[in-house]
Structure 1
């Protein structure tokens, strides 16, 4: 019994000696790396990794190594795809869990543009167009007025020999004054105006406004001081509306009553719509100016942006009843999105991007301003409907650059 205990003690002493010798031995960095890798593989919790550190066959280790590499590649690929998707579209658009009441959003702006730009009793555009096509010379006043009206008519007159000149500085108000004089009286053509089931005076609902279709009349549009900056030139009292506390970002104030501006429909349905009767006199028809389809062009737009009737409109022909239904689409943004730069979220907040002519930023107004700046830089003039500052030169109807 004593002998066995001595042998066990001797073996223990030998093991301790070998361990001390191994600890005193200096390993190279390659051996250290190999040792730690094998130890990590043996002690790691990842499935399949421990088989690489154990004494297994070479084929088995190759199998597990390939499996681990393929798994690592797939995981890395998925992570990179998710990161790339976040870089391209960091903002996610989702559907709201509940509907937005109608009274929380404004009724859209309705802009009506008559196809008749000038009544023949004041200025017969068809007559002077025929003289120009025959090559006859007009008087200076008729030549000037023909150029003014051609800005709104936009007929294809490339076959007419007319000197390519620009209107002189300071004539923008003369253009508006002439277009205002020759146009048919809009408030004589519209009648029986109703809003939300109540009959109202048409003059209280519509305000004259300058668009790319000439002089039009808009309902429920914001005042020009809330759309344009003070440096923009205006004509008379055009584009005037009631003062409003409504904004694109904050919407209506809690203190606003049911009767506020811009107007809002409290409920959906035809009863709470805008209605009116439009008439045209036979003697006022002129098929040479603009389209051969007589009637009216109507654009439904946001109250806070400038209408572009020539690009977005539907027609109201003569002797027909037209009904337009509106299905509003609202996109709200979380405050956390403001932390992302505009380049990542691919959009600007209304007060984030400063424009030259407009108070707030909208995509449509930005496009108008870009077109205005490009035209002014390239041609030295702007189109008659474009926002501009005082004494800005207006391009004539046939000027090219």
Structure 2
């Protein structure tokens, strides 16, 4: 028992002595010892190529091994840098999955008559077409060119009708949707009518949206061919009033299919159905989820002033409105959101 205690005491003293020796400042080795250490390190190191630089007597071989060693170190540094750069770049991987579903949310469909005005209400207002031409040019950021006679008529008309509102005139005298223009309406076997459409202003005047987010919100089985939305319009071809000289030469219906949460793009994505023709459209839903920063450039905090949901088309419309307001000091009623 006593021997065990003595051995423990000696062990503790030995450990303390070792710690004491480590903490004490040791004198620097002599130049000879330092030279020997400098020689022993490259000889005993596991870094391939270094010992060949020291041991070889030929200067050419030393240079070759030196270049090999430096090249290996450079390659190692480049690979480490590439790994860190690739990690902090937050690169993304695109994954595409095709999923067949029986039911999906039915989209919104907007319809416009290519003949924006009827003959009866605008027969005596040829100046309206000139004013509408100006609105169309402004919306497309194009140069406005008009002859002196038309310009004088427009100025005289506005002076004599200072309370004239283009928006009210278009809404009251443009294309209207009632039982005489919407002859048939069928949605998955159920009858529908003008009350199921919401009025909206576009570059085509009065337009009407089916499933505008308030009247119909249902998941429908759309995989069966021939089912969906079926409409029959009367566009009153005999009352065509648009001026072909301004580029309006078509007659019929233009429509676009879009999400109820997004702004329709009739100019870029609109489809035309000419008079006397039957048009069938088959659609496919594509869902895209964009990642936020740092994997992508999307910012979920971006908000639009005129739209509850952010979309590229809505953002472009607001940017165009701000540009026109900055340049002209006023806004066309079509860009009021």
TM-score, normalized by length of structure 1? Answer: 0.61
Indicate how the Cα distance of structure 1 residues 152 and 118 shifts in structure 2: closer, same or farther if over 3 A, else same: farther
Q: Which residue of 2 aligns with 1:110?
A: 109
Instruction: Assess if the C-alpha contact under 8 Å between 1:119 and 1:284 holds in 2.
Output: yes
Q: Which residue of 2 aligns with 1:373?
A: 322
In structure 2, relative to structure 1, the CA distance for the partners of 1:355 and 1:280 (3 Å cut) is closer
Instruction: Tell me: CA distance 1:156–1:64, structure 2 relative to 1, closer, same or farther (3 Å).
Output: closer
Which structure has the greater CA radius of gyration?
A: 2
Structure 2 CA distance for aligned equivalents of residues 358 and 377 of structure 1: 21
Distance 2:38 2:164 in 1: 86
The aligned counterpart of 1:294 is: 251
> How far has the Cα of 1:319 moved from its partner?
1.7
CA contact (8 A) 2:118 2:174 kept: yes
Q: Give the 3-state SS of the residue equivalent to 1:265 in structure 2.
A: strand
Q: How does 1:161-310 map to 2 (within 5 A)?
A: 161=148, 162=151, 174-187=165-178, 188-195=180-187, 197-222=188-213, 241-242=214-215, 261=217, 263-288=218-243, 291-310=248-267
**What TM-score, normalized by structure 2, do the two folds share?**
0.71
Q: Deviations over 1:305-334 (max 9, x none)?
A: 12232333121111222222212221235x
Q: 1:152 to 1:378 in 2, by over 3 A?
A: closer
Distance 1:95 1:300 in 2: 23
1:127-153 Cα deviation digits (max 9, x unpaired): 754xxxxxxxxxxxxx4x455544677
More helix by share: 2
Shift of 1:55: 5.1
Aligned residues: 296
1:77 CA displacement: 4.7
Please give the alpha-carbon distance, in whole angstroms, between the structure 1 residues aligned to 2:44 and 2:163.
Answer: 86
For residues 66-81 of structure 1, the aligned pairs below 5 Å read 66-74=67-75, 76-77=77-78
Equivalent residue in structure 2 for 1:357, among 283, 289, 306 = 306
Q: Distance in 2 between matches of 1:156 and 1:68?
A: 68
3-state SS of 1:215 partner: strand
Preserved contact between residue 42 and residue 53 of structure 1 (Cα < 8 Å): no
Q: How much is the aligned-residue C-alpha RMSD, in angstroms?
A: 3.8
* CA drift at 1:174: 2.9
Q: Deviations over 1:102-140 (max 9, x none)?
A: 53x52222111101111112212xx754xxxxxxxxxxx
Q: 1:250 — aligned with what?
A: none
Change (3 A) 1:151 1:208: farther
User: In 2, distance between residues paired with 1:151 and 1:185?
Assistant: 23
How far apart are the structure 1 equivalents of 2:109 and 2:38? 76
Gaps of 5+ in 2: 1-26
SS of structure 2 residue aligned to 1:218: strand
